[in-house]
Amino acid sequence: MPLRLSNSALSSLPANVAGPGYDRARLTPGILHFGLGNFHRAHQAEYLDRLFAMGEGMDWALVGAGVFEGEKRGRDILAAQDWMTTLVEQEAESSRAKIIGSMVNYVEPANADAIIERMSRPDIRIVSLTITEGGYFLDSEGRFDPAHPAMAADAATPEAPKTVFGMILAALELRHDHGLPPFTVMCCDNIPHNGVVTRNTLTGLARLSDPALADWIEANVAFPNSMVDRITPATTERERGILRDEFGLEDGWPVFCEGFTQWVMEDNFPLGRPPLEKAGVQFVPDVAPYELMKLRILNGGHAVIAYPAGLMDIHFVHEAMEHPLIRGFLRKLEETEIIPNVPPVPDTSLAGYFDLIETRFSNPKIGDTVRRLCLDGSNRQPKFILPTLRDALASGGPIEGLALECALWCRYCAGVTDSGAAIAPNDPNWDSLAAVAQEAQSRPQAWLGQKAIYGDLAGNARFAEAFARNLQALGKDGTAAVLSRYLEG
């Protein structure tokens, strides 16, 4: 019978499962984290776990937090496991399981008063975030959107916030009033200049109700930029079954991921930080070159393979990479249009970085799904694809592959694969996207007219022509034929 994960189980773990390697009773909190999803638990929580196993930084343990009612289920699962997670690293030739024990508590989700109070205590010196690319209330140009309904609501009732940023503001104000120094706000989401974006959203919200607080935050709160990377699919019954059958362990919410992981960060922590460089974090003066490389080559590459694979009814990412048309589309587009628009990165070969990514995408053990890569295109396309397109247009470089990628996303949002199978809603804005995508089949400009996504790109005649031509070809000939013609040049 599988062993159920808990503190009491740590002394009798299966031989092929590694325990935390430290006494969890010695841990004390130092970081409150919003967004306890799979990526955080495979990344930030795992780096801290490594550090604690060295006997270092034991006063930097994690306290979880979440703003949505739906996060209560995840909290209940983790509470039953004494806040621990089983992490399974999978490579083509091997799998390794270990218990991550770096979290010591989790405030009740959606309980703003409790979350604000916990952030207000002096032991919390860092508040970190993985709230997805869509959680920062940005417009099509990547700027804070003060008209967003959630921001307007928090500005109208700052004493009863509903968003992460409203709660952070309330906690910072309390600390200021009580004479406590502010915590560092550390973003771990895939957003260009993520620390700057986080600062702009937080101060932008503050200016709507308390400009003096906004000025104080700009002068006193640190927002280090960082680049994070680890492919981490969603947990399904498949992963729970593998853990149970191959490792003899029962975990209600295990995390499966690749072996590769990277974290590059600016060293800007006025209240101190855990010595994460000992656990493999790379601290640099300027993270911008690293984050741009990753966002364009890796995240952009995910988008490139996602929508043709979705339209061709391919389920897993590694299966998409086994298809010669999709693999060929990825490599040609990366080499001719994406990588030429990535500035040099210190001590890094961009071609070698892409070769590694191609290998990572092909990992058959990960079980990453095409549907996950297709998710939330309305927030991801403006961050991972369109900046490259803008640079290519500005330099007069080729854009055919990028225009084709945009057309594939539009075709996907129309809701039917090439075989005629229905595509289930897969975006927070799916209903409006689907309506516009269907109209675009006969009037392509309708798709580009979504200003919140494309901004002024709709007025670029070169892009509009290439997009319309590719979209009409996809409707007439299908994905495989259009990819074949692109690869033939």
Domains of the chain (ranges; CATH) run 3-284 (3.40.50.720), 288-488 (1.10.1040.10)
pLDDT reading at 331 higher than 80: yes
- pLDDT band of 133, cuts 50, 70, 90: confident
Residue pair 158/253 in contact (Cβ under 8 Å)? The answer is no
Q: How far apart are CA 415 and CA 426, in angstroms?
A: 9
Q: Could you read off the pLDDT of 465-479 as tens digits, one per residue? A: 999 999 999 999 999
CB-CB contact of 118 with 182 (8 Å): no
Closest CA to 353 of 334, 372, 327: 334
The residue count for the chain: 489
Tokens of 166: 């409203």
Distances (CA, A) of 158 to 212, 218, 461: 14, 18, 45
What is the per-residue pLDDT for 305? Answer: 98
pLDDT at 367: 87
Question: Does the predicted TM-score (pTM) go above 0.85?
Answer: yes
Token pair of 250 as six digits: 């029962």
Residue type, 256: F
Q: What is the mean pLDDT of residues 258-279?
A: 97
Query: If residue 461 lies in a helix (H) or strand (E), which one and from where to where?
Result: helix 461-477
pLDDT (tens digit per residue) in 5-50:
999 999 999 999 999 999 999 999 999 999 999 999 999 999 999 9
Q: How far is CA 3 from the centre of its chain?
A: 32
pLDDT tens-digit profile of 337-382? 999 999 999 989 999 999 999 999 999 998 899 999 999 999 999 9
pLDDT band for position 92 (50/70/90)?
confident
Tokens of 317: 């990412």
List the one residue out of 30, 165, 163 whose CA is nearest residue 105. 30
Position 299 scores a pLDDT of 95
Give the chain's mean pLDDT: 96
From edge to edge, which strands make up the β-sheet containing 282-284?
A: 226-229, 262-266, 282-284
Q: What is the pLDDT of residues 399-418, one digit of tens each?
A: 999 999 999 999 999 999 99
Predicted pLDDT at 368? 92
